[in-house]
Structure 1
Amino acid sequence: MALSIHTNYSALVTQTNLGKTNSALSTNQQRLGTGYRVNSAADDAAGLQIATRLNAQSRGMAVATRNTNDAVSLLQTSEGALSEMTDIVQRMKDLATQSANATASSDDRDAMQAEYDQLGQELGNVIKNTKYAGEGLFSDGGASAVTDGSAGKFSAALDFQIGASADEKLTLDVSTPLTDLTAALDTLSAQYATPDSTTPGTEIAGADGSAANGMITTLSDALDDIGSLRAQFGANINRLNHTANNLANMKDNTDVARGTIMDADFASESATMTKNSMLLQSGISMLKQAGQMPGMVMSLLG
């Protein structure tokens, strides 16, 4: 290579390599400082796009998990109310069965009727006042809604968002069995339909046990209606629990996949940074050496 004053080839090559080394060292430092391998689209354009989709999916599944847990809580609240209604109607059936027996006197039946009426009022109270987050589940408390089931959250189909995509939803429609149940309950006690009434009902009282006997089957049918609705709630609670488990599993693996793309490998980056740091120091030393080469030209002129 010729000696020249105008062009110092060795210095130019060394400067170019120093620029590359310095850029690589800066990248190493940025990755170690942030903990991410990909800090901008320039680092890995395709990887960033994939990681963004994975992150959106992961965050969506996290929200869906909360949605699922909220849905379970809603259904458990509803099923708990129906469980209490089952106990109430079962007791009403016991009273009707007892009142239908010929050994019961008129006074006995009046005493049974008094309890029966109070239980009927409590049925209306459960239907009217069972709420979740302040919203009625079976009725909004209106005068007609108590008897016909026309309002409360379950009067129409509910869509629970249980996934990160639009198609991942669970539709629960118990409006028809709820209407059937409220209609059945309306036949059990006058106190259920008009809880503020002080007029005693005649459902299981009377001179003989015929009225009470007639209520036994009606009460049994009401128990079946309650049981049918409870079964639907229970089945969906079980399904939602499995949904939550699956969401947790998918989210864990999605986060791992995103981390594989985005997270910095500290061992590798540390080793690379050490190498680039040494190359930078060596390059600076060689640049100093290359800067002395024009001086050799002057020695020829002397």
Structure 2
Amino acid sequence: MLSLHTNSAGLTIRNNLASSNAALSTSMTRLGTGYKINSAADDAAGLQIATRLLAQTRGMSVAAQNTQNGISLMQTAEGALQEFTNIVLRMKDLATQAADGSTTTSDLTALDAEYQDLVKELGNILSNTTYGGEALLDGGKLAGSVSFQIGATAAETMSVDISADITKLKDFQGTNASDLTTSGNASALISTLNTTLDDVGAARSKLGAAQNRLTHTYNNLQNMQTNTTDARGRIMDVDYASETANMTAKNILMQAGTSMLKQSSQMSQMVLSLLQ
């Protein structure tokens, strides 16, 4: 039907042009940003899932760094206790030598002089071993239970507690170290030093086990982070091949629609030709 007042074809073409223009704009935005979801309107559910995955990924990234910091902290403490062990072994050598009946009074004096210096160094290690400027052993972080955040949720923590072992080492250094001024003292100290070696060994064992656990935790976090990032990418990232083809199609529709809209505007001229 030819009508002067209503151009049905033009109205239809304009509606299709508006739809094609919106789709073309969406395609261009996706190709420009690299994301197929640029606002909640694009995919509300997908955006919500992707946001949760991003929060998890970022949390795991920080947690992975936490595990490395925790390992470094415990390596520092374990290194100090390694030297503590070396000193106690030397003290035991001195005590064993001093306990022998052939040792003279002058020998005992010399042996005790070295022994007392080693006792002081044990105290120095306990008091002055630090990590990041903060004490670790006596009165420091490891004087109580330490909790490490090893995951993206509040429940994912790991506790390390060598406080009881540190207390035993402190007690030995402070009150039980005695001296080597007599063979009797030296003989008694051999057993005490063996016990101290057991105590420092227990502390080092706990630190070593914790370091191994944190290493496995780090590896697992890296694995989860990789797969979670992939999952988010499948939701958020645009498929350039598919979207480029889609943009080309919408662009052609826009050009064709524009051309047809121009043609439809000429239909009213046909009405005038009927009146001539």
TM-score interval for Structure 1 and Structure 2 normalised by the shorter chain: over 0.9
Deviations 1:39-84 (A, max 9, x none): 0000000000000100111111111111111111111111111100
Q: What residue is the counterpart of 2:259 in the other structure?
A: 285
**What CA deviation, in whole Å up to 9, does each residue of 1:222-253 have, x standing for no partner?**
00000001101110010011001111111111
SS in structure 1 opposite 2:263? helix
Instruction: Give the Cα–Cα distance (whole angstroms) in 2 for the partners of residues 120 and 160 of structure 1.
Output: 32
1:1-302 equivalences under 5 Å are: 2-139=1-138, 151-189=139-177, 203-206=179-182, 209-302=183-276
What's the TM-score, normalizing by structure 2? Answer: 0.97
C-alpha distance in 1, partners of 2:113/2:169?
23
- Secondary structure of the residue aligned to 1:116 is helix
SS at match of 2:148: strand
Separation in 2 of the partners of 1:182 and 1:125?
A: 11
Distance in 1 separating the partners of 2:225 and 2:66: 15
Distance 2:137 2:143 in 1: 7
> Aligned partners of 1:216, 1:175: CA distance in 2, in Å?
24
Displacement of 1:210: 2.2
The answer to whether the Cα contact below 8 Å between 1:36 and 1:264 also exists between their aligned partners in 2 is yes
Q: Which amino acid is the alignment partner of residue 31 of structure 2?
A: L
Q: Is the 8 A contact 1:159 1:169 kept in 2?
A: yes
Q: Which has the higher helix share?
A: 2
Give the secondary structure class of the aligned counterpart of 2:159: strand
The separation in 2 between residues aligned to 1:299 and 1:54, in whole angstroms, is: 66
Q: Secondary structure at the match of 1:264?
A: coil
C-alpha distance in 1, partners of 2:86/2:23? 74
Structure 2 unaligned runs (5+)?
A: none
Q: What SS is found at the alignment partner of 1:226? A: helix
CA drift at 1:135: 1.1
Please say if residues 185 and 222 of structure 1, whose CA atoms lie closer than 8 Å, have aligned partners that are also in contact. no
Contact 1:188-1:219 at 8 Å conserved across structures: no
Q: CA deviation at 1:185?
A: 2.9
C-alpha distance in structure 2 between counterparts of 1:180 and 1:5, whole Å: 103
Please provide the CA RMSD for this pair.
1.2
Work out whether residues 204 and 211 of structure 1, in 8 Å CA contact, stay in contact via their aligned partners in 2.
yes
Deviation string 1:279-301 (CA, Å, 9 cap, x unpaired) is 11111111111111111111111
Instruction: Note if contact 2:165-2:199 (Cα within 8 Å) is conserved in structure 1.
Output: yes
Displacement of 1:186: 2.7
CA distance in 2, matches of 1:59, 1:237: 23
Aligned counterparts of 2:259 and 2:211: Cα–Cα separation in 1: 72
Conservation of the 8 A alpha-carbon contact between 2:17 and 2:257 = yes
Q: Which amino acid in 1 is paired with 2:28?
A: Q
> C-alpha displacement at 1:213, in angstroms?
1.2
Question: How many Å separate the matches in 2 of 1:26 and 1:131?
Answer: 59
Deviation at 1:104, TM superposition (A): 2.1
The one-letter amino acid of 1:231's match is: S
Question: CA–CA distance in 2 between the matches of 1:262 and 1:285?
Answer: 35
Cα distance between partner residues in 2 of 1:88 and 1:174 = 20
Q: 2:89 corresponds to which letter in structure 1?
A: Q
